[in-house]
């Protein structure tokens, strides 16, 4: 697969990935998210993403945008994270020109109608309520708050209802002018395209993009001396928890090893924690482990939902598996199984054009360069049992250990006593 990166004189980046497929995906990424915000406008990155679909100079209403995209059978959406925001649409290849026109239009020329801003505040408030009413989701927000506290990395991407209600049209315009600039923007075109023609069309559509100075973000501050626990009391049938450790950033040479560790613990039905919790202990419908990698920080965490009465023993079982990685070498049989799982799943996910666009665009927006899937595969295959043990001993200690928990408990004392490694 050929991947080409073109950097224009204004520093706009274009990534083209020709594919033998009946579809094409247009993805526009911008290097801004909640970590680029100040406290008084926390949530504006996500709110702005919503507003870009509410009307442009060329397409004045949300319905105009939706009808045009629906009318060509497009799959489209947008998303906001801590460090970037994305807008994408996937269509049959014959509609490439139309979808590029629409996506570039909503990105470059939103109008931010004040009446639409006021209406959308209710939608965002309901979205925040939905997240808070979903313990398996909300526990991750609490884990981030526990790790990073009152700084951008610890704030909720969606913001708070109080701040959302205070935002005005002028706030959106000012924030967009600061961050939606050429040097922060990446346009990814993946699918059945003529590469030269696609690059030319992107240049034309994005000719009007601002060339202002790129907005920055505060460096994350991390400080911890002992295990930390955040318990939110809520009457639930299950206890939902996220237990993990401060770890490494996206640039670390240890990233492939931590990816393998996460898969050993919670990657698939044969993983250690799935077997331990589901098959041996008979608790927890879901259990997974994930590594999160950002530009200047990262973490690894296990998440699960379990019967309230057995939450304590589940915490101890999870900690035991982290301890085991510190003490014992992973067998060659298990290590090879995990590697094949990771590599096989990566290639399966990279079949459609939208996943290809996100795979390469996501790398570019975080680390500023891309690796082909074959390069990622080589890195995973090179991970050794000794590296896993070494990294585990480096990271899995009390000064990195954190747990966020939602359940019907008022006293966190009993969990605090067992939260040790």
Spatial separation of the C-alpha atoms in residues 188 and 4, rounded to whole Å: 10
pLDDT band at 252 (very low <50, low <70, confident <90, very high): very high
Query: Is 90 exceeded by the pLDDT of residue 373?
Result: yes
Residue 360 has pLDDT above 90, yes or no: yes
- What is the CA angle 62-66-70, rounded to 5? 175
The pLDDT confidence band at residue 195, using thresholds 50, 70 and 90, is very high
- Homologous superfamily (CATH) for 228-418: Metalloenzyme, LuxS/M16 peptidase-like (3.30.830.10)
Name the segment(s) of the chain with CATH classification 3.30.830.10: 4-205, 228-418
With beta carbons less than 8 A apart as the criterion, state whether 181 and 209 touch: yes
The arithmetic mean of pLDDT across residues 232-255, rounded, is 97
Mean pLDDT within 22-49: 98
**Residue 258: pLDDT band with limits 50, 70, 90:** very high
Cα separation of 262 and 318, whole Å? 12
Alpha-carbon distance of 233 to 33, in angstroms, equals: 29
Stretch 338-365: mean pLDDT? 97
pLDDT band at 170 (very low <50, low <70, confident <90, very high): very high
210 has pLDDT over 90: yes
pLDDT in tens, 113-153: 999 999 999 999 999 999 999 999 999 999 999 999 999 99
User: Per the structure block, which two tokens stand in for 362?
Assistant: 């996501």
Computed over every residue of the chain, the mean pLDDT equals 97
pLDDT confidence of residue 311: 96
CB burial string 341-369: b at 16+ within 10 A, e below: bbbeeeeeebebbbbbbbbbbbbbbbeee
Active site residues: 49
Average of per-residue pLDDT across 4-26: 97
47/128 Cα distance (integer angstroms): 11
Give the model confidence (pLDDT) of 57-87 as tens digits. Answer: 999 999 999 999 999 999 999 999 999 999 9
CATH of 4-205, one of 3.20.20.220, 3.30.830.10, 3.40.630.30, 3.40.50.300: 3.30.830.10
Instruction: Give residue 284's pLDDT band: very low, low, confident or very high (50, 70, 90).
Output: confident
CA nearest neighbour of 403 among 304, 261, 264: 304
Predicted local distance difference test score (pLDDT) of residue 1: 86
Is the CA virtual torsion 194, 195, 198, 200 positive or negative?
A: negative
Share of the chain above pLDDT 90, in %: 97
Report the pLDDT value the prediction gives residue 406, as an integer from 0 to 100.
97
């Amino acid at each position: 697969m050929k991947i080409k990166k073109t950097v224009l004189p204004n520093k706009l980046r274009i990534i083209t990935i020709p594919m033998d497929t009946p579809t094409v995906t247009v993805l526009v990424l911008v290097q801004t998210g909640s970590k680029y915000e100040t406290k008084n406008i926390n949530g504006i990155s996500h709110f702005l993403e919503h507003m870009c679909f509410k009307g442009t100079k060329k397409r004045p209403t949300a319905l105009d945008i939706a009808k045009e995209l629906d009318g060509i059978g497009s799959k489209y959406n947008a998303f906001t994270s801590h460090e970037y925001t994305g807008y994408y649409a996937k269509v049959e290849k014959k509609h490439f020109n139309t979808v590029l026109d629409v996506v570039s239009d909503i990105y470059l020329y939103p109008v931010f109608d004040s009446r639409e801003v006021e209406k959308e505040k209710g939608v965002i408030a309901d979205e925040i309520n939905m997240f808070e009413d979903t313990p398996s989701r909300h526990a991750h927000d609490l884990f981030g708050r526990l790790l990073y506290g009152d700084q951008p990395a610890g704030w909720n991407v969606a913001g708070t209802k109080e701040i959302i209600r205070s935002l005005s049209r002028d706030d959106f315009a000012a924030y967009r002018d600061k961050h939606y600039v050429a040097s922060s923007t990446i346009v990814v075109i993946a699918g059945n395209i003529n590469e030269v023609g696609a690059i030319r069309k992107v240049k034309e559509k994005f000719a009007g993009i601002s060339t202002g100075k790129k907005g920055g973000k505060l460096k994350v501050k991390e400080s911890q001396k002992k295990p930390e626990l955040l318990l939110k009391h809520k009457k639930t049938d299950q206890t939902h928890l996220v237990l993990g450790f401060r770890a490494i950033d996206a640039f670390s040479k240890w990233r492939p090893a931590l990816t393998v560790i996460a898969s050993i613990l919670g990657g698939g039905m044969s993983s250690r924690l799935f077997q331990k919790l589901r098959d041996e202990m008979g608790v927890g419908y879901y259990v997974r482990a994930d590594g999160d990698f950002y530009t200047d920080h990262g973490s690894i965490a296990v998440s699960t939902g379990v019967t309230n009465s057995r939450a304590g023993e589940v915490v101890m079982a999870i900690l035991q598996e982290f301890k085991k990685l510190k003490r014992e070498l992973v067998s060659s049989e298990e290590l090879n199984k995990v590697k094949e799982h990771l590599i096989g799943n990566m290639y399966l996910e990279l079949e459609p054009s939208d996943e290809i666009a996100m795979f390469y665009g996501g790398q570019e927006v975080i680390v500023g360069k891309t690796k082909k899937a074959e390069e990622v595969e080589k890195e995973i295959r090179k991970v050794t049992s000794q590296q896993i043990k070494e990294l585990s001993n480096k990271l899995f200690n009390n000064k990195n250990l954190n747990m966020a928990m939602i359940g019907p408990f008022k006293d966190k004392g009993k969990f605090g006593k067992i939260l040790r490694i």
